[in-house]
Homo-oligomer: A and B are copies of this chain.
């Protein structure tokens, strides 16, 4: 009974923030893209990754990106290793714009909660998201430090290199310390990775 009420509150918050997204220079989808490319790690700054994050199609994602490029908020750079892929990066204009993100009102609203409430909400939302990800056929995108493939190698043989070095066990590449909090397309949640739901 209270579940429905709570779920409706969730929906209402989402709708309100969506509506806020209209007042400004960018559309809600474009704000979303700007946010995503600001927070995505180097593997994940692609149209496809954004499409997955947005739970939309690649075609739609391309259009939002095209608009942002035309407006000078993003620049593209082809991948060296794969001629098909491109990497999107925020320009300084893009970064400045992000400071005016209407989404900031939500951040401030959440910030006005006290700490225990906020962490409780964070944990609850986390669980709701992973439940949703398993019930729908939707992938979720998360950050390296919460990922199955995240390997932390503690100060192995060189004490002078710092406290620890991180690595992606899936791609076998090192992860920069400043990147462990960024979003990654290859994210795999820690607990429920027992079965692969994507059947051929």
Using a CB–CB cutoff of 8 Å, the interface residues on chain A facing chain B are 2-20, 32, 35, 54-56, 103, 105-113, 117-129, 131-132, 135-136, 138, 140
Contact = CB atoms under 8 A, between A and B. Distances in A.
A119 B32 CA distance: 29
**How many chain copies does the complex carry?**
2
A16 B122 contact: no
Contacts of A32: 11, 15
B10 A110 contact: yes
Which 3 interchain pairs have the tightest Cβ spacing? A14-B14, A19-B55, A3-B111
Contacts of A17: 10-11, 14, 132
Contacts of A13: 10, 14, 125, 128-129, 132
Among A6, A111, A118, A123, the one with the most B-chain Cβ atoms within 10 Å of its Cβ is: A6
Contacts of A9: 122, 125-126, 129
A55 B16 contact: yes
Contact of A108 (B8, B55, B121, B135): B135
Nearest to A109: B131
B106 A11 contact: yes
A10 to B, nearest CB: 6
Contact of A11 (B14, B117, B140): B14
A128 B105 contact: no
